[in-house]
């Protein structure tokens, strides 16, 4: 069941109405049943994998809760991580590793090869695996006590707004919310509706419209050059953002209707002034998870002292994992490697850049410096976006090669593009999205808007709904991050 489907627009109100109609003690059972129903509509077999991940991490956490010493808890932590991570590797990465082994065997002249049969990737497995691992690590570290109610824990893993594509929640943040009675909160409820409406707008009107231009270019790379690829590169990153942040808005908004607060996953990433700043604003739940459970777990001392090269290596490892988490393709590994390398380069050259800004006077022009930093960061992100996809690695290099070919610009390419009303509408929608999210980020705007008369506020909602109905692409396209 897709968020952008008629089915979900029926499912969600039914769940919300029943949720408030039922006594408090039965609400978790309703949400659990609804979440499993929501997930089972994809494939029945997927639920068995979800239940296995839930049961293993639940039992491991209970066992760890019975042990006072960390060393006694470690064996149960290892068992849980090995099984849960093993399922993720089997379903998502087995083909990748099999292909590497077979290629290595062929290079060395060995006729040995491992047969591989295509395995269907269970939807959401990358998200709920990290959620269960994070939970068991927190129990192991003593950050949270194990949840004894298996139904509540199963709801934490399978909660329908986030099970398919996050945000990746922490047990210490979400599980306690299932133990609290949520009375109907009009303000939280209306803010949830606003988020759902805005998320639908970003997905149906912007992301799916941008895919009309992006998909043909990235599906037929050899036929496009210069300005076409440059435009498609910008549009791709905007499409991914509108699609994924749109999903997140709908997820957070859906949870708010029932009184639950999910973690923010985006914070205006295209206003970032560095690659590091970008990852503090983009897919926040993933990068913060890897920071807390991977980056800080890696060794950072050499001969007892913290050294910068250790920290930089850790940073590179973490962001290679960021890329690899997205999919078993060399493209994603290079994507993560580039982002990690850009951050390391920024760390190394920081004193030089500070001197450069001082000498050139940029440090005395904060607005100009900020604009240049935002522009440079945006261009780097768009460039790395050529590696962000499930296409052969050679296609990424062909895209970059064709990007430098502007021989036909202004002849049969640029003018038709500029005359395309859909293209101009798409650019206008991108500008509107960025501008509107800038306004949303300003607390003064929210206060002023909510102080307006009810008729004016609801006229704005109706106008956005009207815009969705008129300009939306109603083909029920899957959300981009469902493939991860």
Q: How far apart are CA 319 and CA 335, in angstroms?
A: 9
Is 339 an annotated catalytic residue?
A: no
Total Cβ atoms within 10 A of residue 312: 17
Q: How far apart are CA 152 and CA 6, in angstroms?
A: 29
Rg of the chain (C-alpha set): 24
| Phi, psi for residue 306 in degrees, rounded to 5 | -70, 130
CA count, 13 A, side-chain hemisphere, 379 = 6
Burial of 349 (0-12, 13-18, 19+ CB in 10 A): exposed
Q: How far apart are CA 136 and CA 150, in angstroms?
A: 14
Q: Give the β-pairing of 305-306 and 301-302.
A: antiparallel
What is 44-85 written as a DSSP string?
Answer: HHHHHHHHHHHHHHHHHHHHHHT-SSHHHHHHHHHHHHHHHH
Q: How far apart are CA 215 and CA 413, in angstroms?
A: 17
Secondary structure in 3-state letters for 140-156:
HHCCCCCCCCHHHHHHH
Q: How far apart are CA 284 and CA 75, in angstroms?
A: 30
Whether the bond into 447 is cis, omega within 30 of 0: no
Burial of 114 (0-12, 13-18, 19+ CB in 10 A): exposed
- Containing 302, the helix (H) or strand (E) segment is strand 301-302
Q: How far apart are CA 23 and CA 191, in angstroms?
A: 24
* Alpha-carbon distances, residue 267 vs 168, 212, 373 (angstroms): 16, 26, 17
Q: Which of 303, 326, 339, 391 is catalytic?
A: 326
Q: How far apart are CA 391 and CA 56, in angstroms?
A: 34
Helices (H), 89-225: 94-107, 125-141, 150-158, 171-178, 186-200, 208-219
CA 137 to chain centre: 22
CA count, 13 A, side-chain hemisphere, 275 = 22
Cβ atoms of residues 205 and 242 within 8 Å: no
Q: How far apart are CA 238 and CA 244, in angstroms?
A: 10
Cite the active site residues: 326
């Amino acid at each position: 069941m897709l968020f952008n489907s008629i089915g979900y627009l029926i499912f969600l109100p039914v769940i919300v109405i029943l949720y408030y109609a039922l006594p408090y003690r039965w609400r978790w059972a309703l949400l659990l049943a609804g979440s499993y129903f929501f997930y089972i509509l994809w494939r029945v077999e997927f639920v068995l994998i979800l239940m296995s991940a839930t049961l293993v991490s639940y039992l491991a956490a209970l066992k760890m809760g019975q042990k006072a010493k960390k060393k006694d808890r470690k064996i149960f932590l290892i068992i849980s991580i090995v099984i849960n991570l093993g399922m993720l590797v089997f379903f998502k990465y087995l083909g990748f590793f099999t292909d590497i082994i077979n290629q290595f065997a062929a290079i060395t002249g060995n006729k040995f090869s491992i047969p591989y049969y295509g395995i269907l990737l269970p939807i959401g497995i990358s998200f709920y695996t990290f959620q269960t691992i994070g939970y068991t690590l927190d129990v192991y570290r003593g950050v949270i006590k194990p949840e004894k109610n298996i139904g509540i824990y199963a709801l934490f893993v399978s909660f329908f707004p986030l099970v398919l594509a996050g945000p990746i929640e922490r047990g210490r943040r979400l599980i306690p919310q299932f133990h609290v009675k949520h009375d109907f909160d009009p303000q939280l409820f209306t803010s949830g509706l606003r988020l759902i409406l805005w998320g639908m707008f970003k997905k149906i009107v912007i992301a799916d419209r941008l895919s009309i231009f992006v998909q043909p270019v990235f599906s037929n790379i050899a036929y496009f050059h210069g300005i076409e690829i440059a435009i498609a590169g910008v549009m791709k990153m905007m499409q991914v953002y509108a699609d994924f942040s749109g999903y997140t808005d709908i997820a957070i908004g859906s949870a708010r209707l029932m009184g639950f607060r999910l973690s923010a996953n985006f914070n205006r990433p295209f206003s970032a002034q560095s690659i590091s700043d970008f990852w503090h604003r983009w897919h926040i739940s993933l990068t913060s998870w890897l920071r807390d459970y991977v980056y800080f777990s890696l060794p950072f001392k050499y001969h007892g002292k913290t050294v910068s090269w250790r920290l930089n290596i850790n940073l590179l490892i973490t962001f290679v994992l960021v890329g690899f988490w997205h999919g078993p393709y060399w493209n994603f590994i290079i994507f993560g490697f580039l982002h990690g390398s850009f951050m390391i380069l920024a760390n190394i050259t920081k004193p030089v850049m500070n001197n450069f800004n001082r000498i050139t006077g940029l440090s005395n022009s904060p607005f100009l410096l900020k604009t240049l930093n935002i522009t440079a960061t945006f261009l780097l992100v768009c460039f790395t976006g050529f590696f962000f996809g499930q296409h052969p690695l050679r296609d990424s290099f062909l895209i970059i090669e064709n990007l430098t070919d502007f021989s036909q610009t202004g002849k049969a390419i640029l003018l038709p593009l500029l005359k395309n009303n859909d293209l101009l509408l798409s650019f206008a929608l991108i500008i509107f999205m960025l501008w509107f999210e800038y306004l949303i980020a300003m607390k003064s705007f929210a206060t002023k808007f909510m102080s307006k008369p009810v008729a004016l506020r609801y006229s704005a909602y109706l106008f956005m709904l009207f815009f969705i109905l008129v300009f939306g692409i109603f083909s029920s396209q899957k959300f981009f991050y469902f493939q991860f």
